[in-house]
Structure 1
């Protein structure tokens, strides 16, 4: 049905063989996500250094300087508030003004705020941290815009056979960004250690933190501006997506010209058929028609992303135990400030490389074979199992079986990324109509960031006392949230192998989309079993 009713430009995009412009789009959008992840996670590597530099208390000479819990949460979590706000604002603007116009603004904002974060100024410790938080909020605001725009652009450029893998590949650059956040911090701290070797805090509290260390955290934060700058030119050279130009701007001639150029074929303009498309898809977000067609889908994408991020951003509940168990970090009093940055960066790098990174790329490899729905269900289920085991046997694993503790911890990261952390990004970019795609993705992503904020500011309080019983209860609670995510996954249909217009009903096939999607899912599973036999 979709092939008969669709515009020629949309059919060409859906059936195009994978070529250079696909690769370029993945790299351009992916480098944005690389930058996003680096900027969000690099603060973790240097937050303890900031505490040593700015919050050392001479009245407690035997204790290294450190943030108060509320200040630590603010420094590491303020960017999440900015990200949530930016997702909503830029997601809406992406549908109103166009993907390309807004795409460049987010990048400029990220570059400026990454540099300004490193230049944070003030005459007191509180003013320096306050300035840092101000710029990290706006850095998060720019990062937030990248979520809906990158996903939407990639989905609208891709062909229907590899669309899921391409969107997942863009998101997988988040894993690379986390690795580089640890790697850059580790390399820079190693250089500073060679230049400014200092005794441990226990040996000499005053000289264990050299004043030159103030440059280290600033350089780490400012480095995040570099990858964004490198891709700015190419981001500005990308044409507007053919789907937005045709279906939203109503310019079939321009859409045919733009996509014909990148596909290297001649396309018909089809102005008459375009007017039929637009007439059938004018319903707004807040309407009974949208709710009838996509209400359950939006509830599904928002709830699953929300529940996933509560668990995903809470996984560092056990980092203070798992890092020493893997002999990656030492007690703060046993190392100098620079050694502490090096140890924490190395731990972050190893966990990301072995636990986080592989899961992203397993999704890229298997999302078109297994499907989004199955990967998300399995991921939520396995995360529940591993977190439940960690919670029930927390004290035993931490004290008596540290290697198994490390394995279970790594597996929760793996199945988060070979699971809902990837698919919750992919599905909102495919399920909704072109005129609301960026907005609906933004609503889903912002719901996720609301879950991340709960993790950072509520769940993390369980670690303040260090009591094993509270951490156990938190892990069991996270296992429960994952099972809720498993249940809410049934509100979203499988999308693989279908055009965006067929999925969203823009081609005229959306009168009973939920039932049609269910029938297609059953049919596809049946055909898969026949092929296997």
Structure 2
């Protein structure tokens, strides 16, 4: 109910799209670019790590390969850190402010990306242990970026384009995945060019092992660069007007900050703010919160959990499916750096033509189709394509059908991103009250990372040895998972075109509706008596 809203909030909701909005998208989006690069570049180098540190000395014909438990640890430890960071930094974002916590996450990401590449030790176990330690803390910083980026963008945006703005921030994840593949291609190609006469030793490990060891370190350390470049602009962003007004209770400062950003004059309305705050003082786990927002919180957590089981299974296990699709050669046909190059190239191609377009289709259509419809469509189409791949896997995995396989596999990525991978990020940033928005988004995102951990430690086991029966079973499991996500979507509601306060009931609209229902119930009881 706009008339009950504060002037500073109305100004934000009705502001024309301007340069500052674009700058906020880039600043927040570069955080997600870094997040995606750091999380997914490990897929391009994990096979190289196996060649370098776990070559099979008992069998000269077998290339080195990370043991299953080591592979799961290297890939999954960052997800554990991300889940932890989401909960901690999401809570701090509501307690200390979005801006104060925002810079900390970026510094942590920069330091740990560099340290990941400097992982040291006198034995393979020591190197991998050090790598896992730093990737945990890298994930911890990445986790904080999820709720803070989403909350900041939602609180800056106007209500007409808010969904597109938040989706655009998240779409930078697609760019990060593309660059993870591109950078790994370039680095491996440069090392191969510098050593054109490389050869296998008896264990199919590069004879120039030292040079190959530099390759994966460079790829990991370059993840610090985009985060470092945006640090200055991130700390220069003012605190969001909604946090300053609604949580800190400083209407004057909020009006000044947002007036400067939007280049307009805004009334402070300190007295109106006091009444606004008194209507919205119920705590997170109160009965009132559960009644108003409990179903939505269950909906955002369950859909993100189910989505990430499928999405991370796609991304983290694609290196094992690429040979089946004919996008890479068999391990015994290439040396270590050639395998890294081919894996990175295949990842780049899938991301460019399947993953990346889906993000921007969401940006283009989210305000027309709505979050709810896009999420339903995405889950449904992912389920259909994964069922087809699973049921027909034996015939699709043949040489003659590899292009059909590639198209179907690419379409699962497209509809993940023109679907729930984008909308599960957008909805938690809109559905919940200001004072718990960052925390609720963090809980939803953490549920997603729990799903990603199911993928890393569970689903991935089905694809590691390339067994067709196991891969087929994995695809069918993921199809069922997506269909469950389709039905869980009905726990959330459409948010397009409404102010954040109207959606959450902070403007008093829900109080009024509840009072009217209570009065009608009371009248009925009196008549019955």
Normalised by the length of structure 1, the TM-score is 0.94
CA deviations 1:76-112 (Å, max 9, x no partner) are: 1110000000000000000000000000000000000
SS in 2 for 1:17: coil
Question: 1:509 Cα deviation (Å)?
Answer: 1.1
Question: 1:471 Cα deviation (Å)?
Answer: 2.1
Q: Distance in 1 between matches of 2:71 and 2:384?
A: 30
SS in 2 for 1:401: helix
Question: 1:324 Cα deviation (Å)?
Answer: 3.0
Change (3 A) 1:106 1:207: closer
Structure 2 residue aligned with 1:117: 116
SS in 2 for 1:313: helix
Structure 1 residue aligned with 2:310: 311
Structure 2 residue aligned with 1:411: 411
Q: Distance in 1 between matches of 2:199 and 2:75?
A: 25
Change (3 A) 1:513 1:163: farther
- The answer to whether 1:146 aligns with 2:149 is no
Q: Distance in 2 between matches of 1:205 and 1:90?
A: 44
Normalised by the length of structure 2, the TM-score is 0.94
Q: Distance in 1 between matches of 2:392 and 2:162?
A: 41
- The answer to whether 1:132 aligns with 2:131 is yes
Change (3 A) 1:229 1:155: same
Extract structure 1 runs of 4+ deviating beyond 6 A. Answer: none
Structure 2 residue aligned with 1:528: none
Are 1:38 and 1:180, in contact at CA under 8 Å, matched by a contact in 2? yes
Q: CA RMSD in A?
A: 1.7
Question: 1:312 Cα deviation (Å)?
Answer: 1.0
Change (3 A) 1:246 1:206: closer
Are 1:160 and 1:498, in contact at CA under 8 Å, matched by a contact in 2? yes
Q: Distance in 1 between matches of 2:241 and 2:206?
A: 61
Question: 1:204 Cα deviation (Å)?
Answer: 8.0
Q: Distance in 2 between matches of 1:317 and 1:272?
A: 53
Structure 2 residue aligned with 1:60: 59
Are 2:319 and 2:343, in contact at CA under 8 Å, matched by a contact in 1? no
Q: Distance in 2 between matches of 1:27 and 1:170?
A: 7
Question: 1:512 Cα deviation (Å)?
Answer: 8.2
CA deviations 1:130-179 (Å, max 9, x no partner) are: 00000000000000000000000000000000000000000000000000
Are 1:64 and 1:201, in contact at CA under 8 Å, matched by a contact in 2? no
Count the aligned residue pairs. 514
Structure 2 residue aligned with 1:95: 94
1:33-432, aligned counterparts within 5 Å? 33-201=32-200, 205=204, 207-316=206-315, 319=318, 322-324=321-323, 326-399=325-398, 400-432=400-432
CA deviations 1:189-217 (Å, max 9, x no partner) are: 11111112244538884644532111111
Structure 2 residue aligned with 1:27: 26
Structure 2 residue aligned with 1:519: none
Question: 1:14 Cα deviation (Å)?
Answer: 0.3
**Range with bigger deviation, 496-505 or 396-405:** 396-405
SS in 1 for 2:509: coil
Q: Distance in 2 between matches of 1:18 and 1:31?
A: 20
Structure 1 residue aligned with 2:520: none
Structure 2 residue aligned with 1:472: 472
Q: Distance in 1 between matches of 2:452 and 2:467?
A: 22
Change (3 A) 1:321 1:336: closer
Q: Distance in 2 between matches of 1:233 and 1:317?
A: 32
Are 2:57 and 2:203, in contact at CA under 8 Å, matched by a contact in 1? no
CA deviations 1:431-455 (Å, max 9, x no partner) are: 0000000000000000000000001
**Range with bigger deviation, 39-48 or 197-206:** 197-206
Gaps of 5+ in 1: 517-533
Change (3 A) 1:510 1:95: same
**Range with bigger deviation, 231-240 or 305-314:** 305-314
SS in 2 for 1:18: coil
Q: Distance in 2 between matches of 1:257 and 1:318?
A: 50
Are 2:14 and 2:158, in contact at CA under 8 Å, matched by a contact in 1? yes
- The answer to whether 1:436 aligns with 2:436 is yes
Change (3 A) 1:282 1:27: same
Q: Distance in 2 between matches of 1:317 and 1:182?
A: 13
